[in-house]
Amino acid sequence: MSLKYAVLAALLEGEASGYELSKAFDVSFANFWPATPQQLYRELERLAQDGLVEARFVQQERRPNKRMFTLTPAGREDLRAFAVEPPRRPSAVRDELLIKLQAMEDPEAAHALIEERMTWARGKLDRYERVRDRLLDGRTEDEFLRESDRVGPYLTLLRGISFEEENLRWCERVLAVLKHRVGRG
């Protein structure tokens, strides 16, 4: 149900192909609603059938043809109505690493997993930083927030950034605890 609105929200940024959306869902949208390309294509099909998006074929010369999708007025209205309703379900985190950590008996193995997570988090922060630069487009944050019509994308990006920063701080904390335990009984 929510994927539907995530797709509609993504199309607020303008016309896009399924492939382009799958790129967007790989970076910014992945922070709060991950989706695979297959999910997106299926959802776009449904949305088109329901008249919430409009599809148009684009013939291409040096690339495969594609379909570009745009929000219809009905889609825009549906999204607007969704946005002001309180969420039906609470936010959920699914993190396999934490299951492993919960069960872990071997501090060395735990250390390795945490290090890996930190590398990955730093990579993600780098990518967020690039998305942020593209959004701000040379302006300072204050300028952007004053000028821009829609602050939503920036605020959700901030959530992604603060999540990964906190993630890293927690990892440091875990490493400190584990350090005391390596070589211990």
Q: What residues from 18 to 77 belong to the interface with a copy of itself (CB under 8 A)? A: 29-34
Of 1, 84, 103, 176, the one binding DNA (CB under 7 A) is: 1
Query: Which residue in 5, 17, 54, 168 binds DNA (CB under 7 A)?
Result: 17
> Pattern of binders to DNA over 65-94, x per CB under 7 A?
xxx--------------------xx--x-x
Is residue 94 at the binding interface for a copy of itself, with CB under 8 A as the rule?
Answer: yes
Q: How far is CA 24 from CA 64, 93, 110, 142, in A?
A: 20, 20, 32, 25
69 and 16 in contact (C-beta within 8 Å)? yes
**What pairs with residue 68 in β-bridges?**
17, 56
Q: Which is nearer to DNA, 36 or 119 (CB)?
A: 36
- Residues 20 to 59 in contact with DNA, rule: CB under 7 A: 20, 23, 34-39, 41, 45
Whichever of 116 and 133 has its CB closer to a copy of itself, that residue is 116
66 binds, among a copy of itself, DNA, none (CB under 5 to 8 A by kind): DNA
Q: Which of 42, 51, 2 is nearest to 18 (CA)?
A: 42
3-class SS of residue 63? coil
The reply to whether 82 sits near a copy of itself by the rule CB under 8 A is yes
Asked if 120 interacts with a copy of itself (CB under 8 A), we say yes
Report what 70 binds from DNA, a copy of itself, none; CB cut-off 5-8 Å by kind. none
How long is the chain? Answer: 185
Q: Which residues contact 123 (CB under 8 A, 6 or more apart)?
A: none
Contacts of 28 (CB under 8 A, 6+ apart): 131, 153, 156, 157, 160
Q: Which is nearer to DNA, 41 or 144 (CB)?
A: 41
- Structure-block tokens of residue 9: 């929200």
Interaction of residue 95 with DNA, rule CB under 7 A: no
